């Protein structure tokens, strides 16, 4: 055994170049995987433990019945919508037998404003909540100062205090649903031991500020402490019997809060994980290729050994030991690089504009274990499969057979692949027609279909490209095309890596462009007003409702109209509902009605954003926290007012306020008189500047800023494209090097009959270019098809139309082919330098 190990090590050292490449592939995959896992742990782990610590003292929570849950994707509301509690719920809870204490928890919108400018940017939401007197219940702890006691005093979290550079005693302003309020900071608090609650910026208010500032009639939740010795289940049962409320056990509550804190990052995690999986797949492909060839090369030698009496195990066990050796070393390197590279990944993710928790990276043993298992396991498996196959052939067969793999592809394999592909296409079609995402699972069968059809695709593309290649590059062209088909399985696995990578990038690109179009082009195409006043954050309205009237009084202002916004439940999903003046708004923002008449909103109708005119006349039910409206659909509009949180439904502003109470304005559109001078704009600007929570933008500025969020998402995709291409690059370099090694005899012959070095290089590069082109085209087509089905089925009102980003797809194709040719350049260069005779004798 030890001799076997020694000879395995020697063999690795002997073919250093090949194994260096394999090792790099393994290490990179492992590094990418571990970095992703660590990042997602760091994003969720810290938040989860903070929440668990902060809420540890709460035994149970009474909250309003849930009306709809948040979506989790970009464009979906981030909070769940609940029916309000009874205003006296806290007293009723406290009166229940076995309840030691009950405390009201008010939670609404509050934004800290210091010297006229709002504090904090990024994804976190601005939260105002009351300071709970009992420290048992209070998730916040005072770090300095004292609790707020009367309305007008606030405590802020440490991260806000650091951002704004304020300290207890400072006078600030707080913007809430009832407008701008002056406040004095009395203290700084931490959330458990963290600077802030996960993804929240919190302003803590005294009791009594709940109704005055947060504009709420009743607490959001009642926190419950169950008396010691009381029967817990019994108490929970009694609490549930209270009308119109939902009782949640303390531990369930913590879990829900943990999920809520991490769910906005969920889609990012899914993206990252998808890329990590592709990276690992590409890595595995490379390893598998290398070992298949290693085994094939030794086939004759091992046939000889078998013929003189060596056991199978003795002959091929060495290969597996070799794999374990390389796998282990490469995995260790990968783990180290991955942990060190989390920073780089953070940077890529940072391109999205999502501000991640800046805490330390959490390297959990699970992440390490998963990545190590994948790294070492994939390597050994990749060696074991071909080794077993080789060991199963008889010695004489092994001696006789050439090392090259068979050129024929099993019909059954291709046929089953085609069946799967057909099933995938049907699945996608059914999903689109029936709008049922479950069918998308069937559409995912396209991946095994590609695996199965790969060799046939390679052979077909070799055949079809041959005439074109011949015309373009003469005999080098036909040799290049022919080489593809020479080892269809290996070419296919390179192709698969490229297909998966490009499909992934294409899907994200489709997603981004459709979202951009939904968000960006709506504003670009619809906005006609000269000026737009916007709120401090897109997901909460902060404009003083009197501002619109004051702007209208300015000279040279032609017309002014406001957009109000709130959340409501339509068909069990939380949706943004807009309130507009149906006669004034269309003159400033063209919603592009495709059916019905917006004017009918004033008689209590509702307009829906969509592309299906037949919705007209149906009755729609919208549930709000305190009421429900039922209204006929009187108009279908093709466009909303733009932005991530744009309404999916519109009603008359008066109808909306009648249902939910007074609302601040989300946006105010201003039309200046024709020929108005800069003075007019300056007048409006001065008014807006004096009104906290409102910000002025010209049409051009507003159009630009509504696209910028998405542009960042595009950056993220580009970053991922670069990472994916880098790994695919290695794969191509490796496969090409292997293929060249295997064909050294033929290449030597070409040199001997007078092919120049340039011609050799051209053959190799052409071959890779054809393969990359075909694979990338298929990958892009598959990604576009799947992405289209997915967006169409799950996009809903946020992404009403699928937009194909032709330019980005073209760039992806070009990058994939260029990356392939670039990757092949090095092995091509190497082979062109090898002396002719060395190639002919095949001992390169």
Nearer to another protein, 645 or 767 (CB): 767
List the one residue out of 493, 507, 47, 500 whose CA is nearest residue 276: 500
Binding mask 401-440 for another protein (x = CB under 8 A): ------x---------------------------------
In this complex, which beta carbon is closest to another protein, that of residue 553 or of residue 833? Answer: 833
Residue whose CB is less far from another protein, 339 or 750: 750
Q: Which of 118, 327, 748, 827 binds another protein (CB under 8 A)?
A: 748
Q: Which of 750, 774, 775, 791 binds another protein (CB under 8 A)?
A: 750
Residue from 393, 746, 830, 844 binding another protein (CB under 8 A): 746
Determine which residue in the list 486, 496, 727, 780 makes contact with another protein, applying CB under 8 A: 486
CA distance 644 to 694: 18
Question: Quick one: 806 or 833, whose CB is closer to another protein?
Answer: 833
Indicate whether 753 belongs to the interface with another protein (CB under 8 A): yes
Burial of 727 (0-12, 13-18, 19+ CB in 10 A): buried
Residues 6+ apart with CB under 8 A from 149: 186, 206
- Three-state DSSP state, 181: strand
Applying CB under 8 A, among 485, 776, 793, 809 the residue interacting with another protein is 485
**Judged by CB, which is closer to another protein: 479, or 776?**
479
DSSP 8-state symbol, 528: -
CA–CA dist 562, 641 (Å, integer): 12
What are 653-657's contacts with CB under 8 Å, separation 24+? 653/562, 653/564, 653/579, 653/580, 653/581, 654/579, 654/602, 655/579, 655/601, 655/604, 655/629, 655/631, 656/564, 656/566, 656/577, 656/578, 656/579, 657/564, 657/579
The yes or no reply on residue 482 touching another protein (CB under 8 A) is: yes
**What's the min distance (Å) between Cβ of 261 and another protein?**
59
3-state helix, strand, coil in the chain (%, to 5): 55, 20, 25
Least distance in angstroms from the C-beta of 771 to another protein? 14
Rounded least distance, CB 494 to another protein, Å: 17
Give CA separation, 690 vs 175, 310, 547, 677, in Å: 13, 91, 10, 21
- In the window 823-842, what residues touch another protein (CB under 8 A)? 835-837, 840, 842
The residues, any chain, with a CB within 8 Å of residue 340's CB and separated by 6 or more, are none
The yes or no reply on residue 469 touching another protein (CB under 8 A) is no
Helix (H/G/I), strand (E/B), else coil: 214: coil
Nearer to another protein, 146 or 758 (CB): 758
Q: How far is CA 657 from CA 179, 612, 626, 662, in A?
A: 16, 28, 12, 5
- Nearer to another protein by Cβ, of 629 and 755: the residue is 755
Determine the Cα–Cα distance for residues 93 and 465; give it in Å rounded to an integer. Answer: 77
Stretch that binds another protein, among 128-136, 386-394, 474-482, 612-620 (CB under 8 A): 474-482
Instruction: Select the residue interacting with another protein from 675, 754, 806, 843 (CB under 8 A).
Output: 754
Q: Specify the stretch interacting with another protein by CB under 8 A; choose among 143-151, 481-489, 513-521, 573-581.
A: 481-489
Q: Are strands 573-580 and 649-652 parallel, antiparallel or unpaired?
A: parallel
Does position 751 interact with another protein (CB under 8 A)? The reply is yes
Minimum gap (Å) between residue 842 Cβ and another protein: 7
Q: Is 756 in the site for another protein (CB under 8 A)?
A: yes
**Alpha-carbon span 647 to 567, nearest angstrom:** 9
3-state secondary structure of 458: helix
- Rule CB under 8 A: choose which of 48, 261, 479, 510 binds another protein: 479
* 481: contact with another protein by CB under 8 A: yes
Tell me how many residues contact another protein (CB under 8 A): 28
Closest distance to another protein from the beta carbon of 838 (Å): 10
CB of 472 to another protein, least distance (A): 14
Stretch 758-787 residues interacting with another protein (CB under 8 A): 759
Cβ nearer to another protein, comparing 482 with 632: 482
Report which secondary-structure segment, H or E, holds 630: strand 628-637
Query: Minimal distance in Å, beta carbon 340 to another protein?
Result: 44
CB of 777 to another protein, least distance (A): 22
3-state secondary structure of 711: helix
**CB 307, min distance to another protein, A:** 21
Alpha helices in 661-698, H assignment, sequence order: 678-689
Q: Which residues bind another protein (CB under 8 A)?
A: 407, 474-475, 478-479, 481-483, 485-486, 745-746, 748-757, 759, 835-837, 840, 842
């Amino acid at each position: 055994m030890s001799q076997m190990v020694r000879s395995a090590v020697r063999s690795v050292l002997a073919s250093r170049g090949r194994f260096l490449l394999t090792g790099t592939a393994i290490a990179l995959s492992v590094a990418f995987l571990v970095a992703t896992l660590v990042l997602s742990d760091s994003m969720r782990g810290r938040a989860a433990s903070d929440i668990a610590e902060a809420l540890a003292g709460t035994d149970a929570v009474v909250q309003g019945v849930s009306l709809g849950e948040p979506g989790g994707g970009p464009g979906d509301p981030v909070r769940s919508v609940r029916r309000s509690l009874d205003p006296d719920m806290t007293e009723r809870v406290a009166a229940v037998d076995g309840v030691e204490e009950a405390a009201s928890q008010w939670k609404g919108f509050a934004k800290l404003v210091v010297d006229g400018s709002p504090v904090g940017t990024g994804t976190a939401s601005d939260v105002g909540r009351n300071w709970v007197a009992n420290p048992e219940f209070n998730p916040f702890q005072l770090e300095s100062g004292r609790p707020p006691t009367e309305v007008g005093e606030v405590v802020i979290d440490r991260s806000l205090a650091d951002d704004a550079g304020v300290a207890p005693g400072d006078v600030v302003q707080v913007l809430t649903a009832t407008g701008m309020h002056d406040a004095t900071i009395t203290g700084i608090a931490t959330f458990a031991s963290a600077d802030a609650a996960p993804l929240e910026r919190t302003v803590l208010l005294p009791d009594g500020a709940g109704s005055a500032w947060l504009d709420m009639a009743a607490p959001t939740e009642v926190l419950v402490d169950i008396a010691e010795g009381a029967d817990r289940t019994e108490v929970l049962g009694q609490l549930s019997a209270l009308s119109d409320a939902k009782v949640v056990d303390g531990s369930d509550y913590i879990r829900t809060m943990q999920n809520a804190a991490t769910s906005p990052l969920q889609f990012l995690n899914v993206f990252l994980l998808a890329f990590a999986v592709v990276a690992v797949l590409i890595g595995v492909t490379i390893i598998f290729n290398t070992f298949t060839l290693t085994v094939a090369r030794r086939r004759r030698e091992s046939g000889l050994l078998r013929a003189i009496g060596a056991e199978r195990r003795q002959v091929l066990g060495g290969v597996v030991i070799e794999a374990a050796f390389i796998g282990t070393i490469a995995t260790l390197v990968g783990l180290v690089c991955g942990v060190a590279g989390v920073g780089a990944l953070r940077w890529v993710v940072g391109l999205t504009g999502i501000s991640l928790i800046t805490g330390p990276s959490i390297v959990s043993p699970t992440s390490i274990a998963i990545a190590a298992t994948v790294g070492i396991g994939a390597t050994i498996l990749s060696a074991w499969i071909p080794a077993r196959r080789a060991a199963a052939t008889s010695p004489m067969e092994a001696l006789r057979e050439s090392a090259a793999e068979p050129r024929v592809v099993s019909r059954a394999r291709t046929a089953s692949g085609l069946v799967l592909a057909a099933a995938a296409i049907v699945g996608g079609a059914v999903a689109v027609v029936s709008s049922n995402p479950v069918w998308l699972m069937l559409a995912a069968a396209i991946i095994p279909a590609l695996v199965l059809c790969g060799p046939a695709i390679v052979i077909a593309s070799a055949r079809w490209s041959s005439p074109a290649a011949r015309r373009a590059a003469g005999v080098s062209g036909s040799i290049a095309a022919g080489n593809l088909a020479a080892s269809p399985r290996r070419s296919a696995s390179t192709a698969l890596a490229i297909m998966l990578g490009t499909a992934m990038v294409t899907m994200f690109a489709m997603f981004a462009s459709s979202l951009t179009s939904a968000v960006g082009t709506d504003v670009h195409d619809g906005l006609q007003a000269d000026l737009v006043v916007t709120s401090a954050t897109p997901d909460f309205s902060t404009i003083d409702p009197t501002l619109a009237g004051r702007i209208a009084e300015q000279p040279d202002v032609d017309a002014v109209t406001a957009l109000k916004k709130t959340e409501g439940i339509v068909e069990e999903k939380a949706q943004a509902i807009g309130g507009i003046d149906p006669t004034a708004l269309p003159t400033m923002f063209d919603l592009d009605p495709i059916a019905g008449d917006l004017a009918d909103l004033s008689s209590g109708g509702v307009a829906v954003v969509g592309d299906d005119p037949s919705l007209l006349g149906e009755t729609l039910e919208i549930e709000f926290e305190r009421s429900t409206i039922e209204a006929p659909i009187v108009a279908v509009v093709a466009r909303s007012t733009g932005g991530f949180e744009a309404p999916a439904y519109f009603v008359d502003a008066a109808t909306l306020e009648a249902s939910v109470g007074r609302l601040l304005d989300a946006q105010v559109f201003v039309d200046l008189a024709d020929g108005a001078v800069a003075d007019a704009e300056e007048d409006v600007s001065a008014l807006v500047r004096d009104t906290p929570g409102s910000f002025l933008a010209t049409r051009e500025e507003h159009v630009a800023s509504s696209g910028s969020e998405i542009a960042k998402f595009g950056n993220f995709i580009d970053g991922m494209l670069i990472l994916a291409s880098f790994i695919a690059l290695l794969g191509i370099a490796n496969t090409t090097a292997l293929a060249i090694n295997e064909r050294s005899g033929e290449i030597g012959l070409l040199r001997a009959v007078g092919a120049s070095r340039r011609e050799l290089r051209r053959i190799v590069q052409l071959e890779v270019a054809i393969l990359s082109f075909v694979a990338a085209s298929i990958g892009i087509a598959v990604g576009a098809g799947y992405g289209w089905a997915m967006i169409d089925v799950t996009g809903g009102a946020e992404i009403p139309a699928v937009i194909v980003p032709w330019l980005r797809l073209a760039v992806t194709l070009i990058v994939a082919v260029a990356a392939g040719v670039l990757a092949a350049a090095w092995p091509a260069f190497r082979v062109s330098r090898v002396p002719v005779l060395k190639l002919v004798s095949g001992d390169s």
